[in-house]
Chains A and B, each alone.
Chain A
Amino acid sequence: MKKIKVRICVGTSCFVMGSAQIQSLEFNAPSDIADEIEIVEERCMNLCKDITRKRNRGPFVYVDDELIEEATYEKVVAKIREKLQK
């Protein structure tokens, strides 16, 4: 099965808002999802500067092509599990 791609923004503001914690998915993800995901860190994805779209705050994480705003470790894990159940 194709792995779920998790893209984490590690630009300055996402990093201080908590993307550092989400990065730990790479080393200690819950066992049910550990083998199903691929973690990719990205430099600033420029979503924080996109004023016209009125986005919420970072950290920004893409799970496959779905964007999570104000992401947390729990939110990302929940989204991954949701994807896996489909």
Chain B
Amino acid sequence: MEDSLYIEIGTAQQQKYGEDCFGDTIYSKKIPQERRIISILSDGLGSGVKANILSSMTTRMAMTFVESNMELMHSSEVMMDALPICQIRKISYATFSVVDTQLDGKTRIFEMDNPPFMLIRGGKAVNVRYREISSEKWKDRTINISQMTNQEEDRIILISDGVSQAGLGNRLYPLGWQRQGCLNFAIEKIRKNPHISAHELAHAIVAEALSKEVGGHAGDDISCVVLYFRKPRKLLVLTGPPFDENRDKEFAEMVADYDGKTAICGGTTANIVERELCLKCEIDKTSFDDKIPLCSKMEGVDLVTEGILTLTDVYRMLKEGIDTDRDNGATRLANLLLDSDKIDFVVGTKINIAHQDPNLPMELEIRRNIVKKIFRILQDKYLKEISIRYI
């Protein structure tokens, strides 16, 4: 378990200009019991609501079939039969790319009609051989199946045709950006920043595709999924003083013994660690913000912030997106959480008497509750591996 690969999934989407919803759908699922991750990108015929329904149906059906290891050809026939037939084009249609990967690196990819996936290994594109199968019933459809064993630092990139055709008809890109253009862009990005996160790379690709379009107006739905295979990045978050003061030392030593990054959320918590480990902790004035109290700096600890207010704001940002125009304790902590794969929370359960004063604003949450909310959103929305321990 310890040395298994971690897969970070980053996605980015931009809907066609003028449409309210995405015509492409991305759906990823983690199956912890089988240590397996499935990620699907589907492009629905057309754009807008109709395409959204077609592609959502396709991803959900494909997920169910792949998850239960159904025979592939049969499953795709069922899917084609189930999709409604477009009144204009008289075909039922949605494309898909499915990445089915296990944490020991065995990966299968099924594709139908999407631009072929890209595999980048050691800063170079690798071509993976594929097998083509076609259905009796739907003659013009073929599915490409590829198999590979992934290694550390591999990246798999899935794109919809909105990426490869970005800028189509434009003088600079008469045939669009093309898959090759996107591949070169991704390789260049990785060369500049070898540890670029999946999330960052996916957003960079979509932003770049959009910049190719005339007037920055997307001519089709643009979607990108990046799967990044790597050693898990670990983070320890200590928050709240232990219920029993006699355990302060044990609590503080967790910071010293941890083999990864560490963060401390809470003034009193920081005071305990400072006292027990005899470290010096100073206020960091560069994090000034009128909504969030200042951070501190402690040797050997990556981030020290205030507790409840910071955590509450972190939860808000995990839900709504991280504020890019501010640099305070909460944005720093939120970014640190998203950059990590395995996060261990240690929550001290001592109640802060001062916070029970009825004159304080109602928003002051109880620590256990806010940590629980953060825990859930990190696990369900961001697919992080999380443990939580109360002390």
Q: Which residues of A contact B (CB under 8 A)?
A: 10-13, 15-17, 20, 23, 26, 40-44, 46, 48-49, 51, 57-58
Contact = CB atoms under 8 A, between A and B. Distances in A.
A41 B285 CA distance: 9
B92 interface: no
25 contacts: A10-B306, A11-B268, A11-B293, A11-B354, A12-B293, A12-B354, A12-B355, A13-B354, A13-B355, A13-B357, A13-B360, A15-B306, A16-B360, A20-B293, A23-B288, A26-B285, A42-B283, A43-B270, A43-B271, A43-B283, A43-B296, A44-B268, A44-B271, A48-B354, A49-B353
B353 A44 contact: no
Closest 6 A/B residue pairs (Cβ): A48-B354, A44-B267, A43-B267, A11-B267, A10-B293, A13-B354
A51 B360 CA distance: 17
A12 B357 CA distance: 12
A60 to B, nearest CB: 10
B353 A16 contact: no
A75 B293 CA distance: 21
A12 B288 contact: no
A15 B293 contact: yes
Given A40-B283, A42-B283, A12 B307 contact: yes
B281 A43 contact: yes
B359 interface: yes
Given A17-B360, A57-B357, 9 more contacts: A10-B283, A10-B294, A11-B267, A12-B307, A12-B309, A12-B352, A20-B291, A46-B268, A49-B354
Contact of B309 (A15, A40, A49, A58): A15
